[in-house]
């Protein structure tokens, strides 16, 4: 399952050891590590990125995850690497889009104290024990969240909200007096523009999801070519699952995109 993972350590040295341990687990075939970064929190509470790993097309998404999380756990003065606005509000918005809830951030905030460091990663793992064992040996505190469901649901909710508002306005317009029609027509046009913008955003997201899927498939192929024979079967099965998952996701998002066409037709 694809997850965002944050592991908090007592210091930067152990965070780097944690990052290397994740890479070892990837080579062994126990997890698939798509990308990771090391962040550190100084005595003043400011978070900075010490190491960022960008592995191909999905790097933009990982940068967003790292930058948003770093900005939130470090407060408004934190870094803005990959985040939409570099602000606390912008980071929160970006996290919502990629499927990280506020409870997850709150948990991390409680443990990432001044002087601490953390590894932020995107991984696939079948079971948690291998990663838990390595991180606990380094006194790391692990936090996990699955990303995909919230991320895709965000667009569905946004589109549904605009479509409902448009339906309501158009129904009101049919019954409005001549005096009210002009104002309601202006609101209808404004809502159509917002829905159109959201539709374009969704189209861009569909392309991003396709690119993310292709990059992860390639990463898994490379991993399969290097792991021991006993791990190849499991990873090959995971490769097929990832292919199927991204086909389903893009189809679902594409359907939502097509449905907005009818809503935008006068």
Q: Are residues 121 and 160 in the same domain?
A: no
Q: Which of 97, 130, 146 is the last residue of a domain?
A: 146
For residues 49 and 92, state if they share a domain: yes
Share of the chain above pLDDT 90, in %: 26
Tell me the whole-structure pTM to 2 decimals: 0.72
Same domain? For 142 and 161 the reply is no
Q: Number of folded domains in the chain?
A: 2
The alpha-helical segments, DSSP class H, found in the chain are 12-28, 59-74, 88-98, 102-111, 129-137, 148-175, 178-226, 229-264
Give me 111's structure tokens: 């443990």
**Are residues 189 and 123 both part of a single domain?**
no
Which positions ≥6 away from 231 have C-beta within 8 Å?
A: 28, 29, 30
Neighbouring-strand partners of residue 3: 123, 146
The reported pLDDT for the residue numbered 263 is: 61
pLDDT above 60: residue 58: no
Do 141 and 168 lie in a common domain?
Answer: no
Q: Are residues 27 and 138 located together in one domain of the fold?
A: yes
Q: Among 146, 166, 193, give the residue marking a domain's end.
A: 146
What local confidence, expressed as pLDDT, does residue 150 receive?
53
pLDDT of residue 89: 40
Kindly state the DSSP code that residue 259 receives in the 8-state scheme. H
Considering the domain architecture, whether residues 164 and 98 belong to the same structural domain is answered as no
Instruction: Indicate whether 99 and 184 sit together in one domain.
Output: no
- Residue 193 — pLDDT band, cuts 50, 70, 90? confident
Residue 100 pLDDT exceeds 80: no
| Boundary of a domain, candidates 99, 127, 146 | 146
Across the range 34-51, mean pLDDT stands at 85
Do 123 and 167 lie in one domain? The reply is no
Range of the domain at 7: 2-146
For residues 45 and 47, what is the distance between their CA atoms, to the nearest angstrom? 6
| Tens digits of residue pLDDT in 205-244 | 888 888 888 888 998 999 999 998 889 999 999 999 989 9
Q: Are residues 190 and 130 in the same domain?
A: no
Q: How far apart are the first and last CA of the chain?
A: 42
Q: What mean pLDDT comes out for the span 118-131?
A: 91
């Amino acid at each position: 399952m694809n997850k965002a993972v944050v592991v908090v350590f007592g210091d930067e040295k152990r965070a780097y050891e944690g990052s290397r341990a994740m890479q070892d687990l990837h080579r062994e075939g126990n997890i698939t590590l798509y990308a990771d970064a090391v962040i550190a929190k100084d005595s003043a509470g400011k978070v900075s990125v010490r190491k960022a790993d960008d592995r191909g097309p999905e790097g933009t998404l990982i940068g967003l995850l790292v930058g948003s999380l770093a900005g939130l756990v470090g407060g408004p003065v934190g870094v803005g690497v990959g985040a939409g606005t570099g602000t606390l509000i912008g980071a929160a918005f970006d996290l919502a889009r990629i499927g990280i809830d506020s409870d997850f951030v709150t948990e991390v905030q409680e443990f990432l104290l001044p002087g601490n460091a953390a590894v932020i990663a995107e991984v696939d793992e079948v079971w948690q024990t291998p990663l838990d064992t390595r991180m606990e040996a380094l006194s790391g505190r692990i936090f996990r969240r699955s990303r995909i469901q919230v991320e895709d649901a965000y667009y569905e909710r946004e589109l549904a909200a605009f479509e409902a508002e448009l339906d309501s306005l158009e129904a009101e317009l049919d019954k409005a007096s001549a005096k009210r029609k002009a104002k309601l027509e202006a609101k209808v046009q404004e809502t159509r523009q917002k829905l159109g913008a959201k539709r374009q955003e969704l189209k861009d997201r569909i392309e991003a999801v396709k690119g993310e899927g292709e990059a992860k498939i390639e990463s898994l192929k490379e991993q399969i070519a290097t792991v021991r024979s006993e791990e190849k079967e499991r990873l090959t099965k995971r490769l097929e699952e990832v292919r199927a998952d991204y086909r389903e996701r893009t189809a679902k998002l594409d359907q939502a995109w097509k449905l907005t066409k009818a809503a935008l037709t006068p």
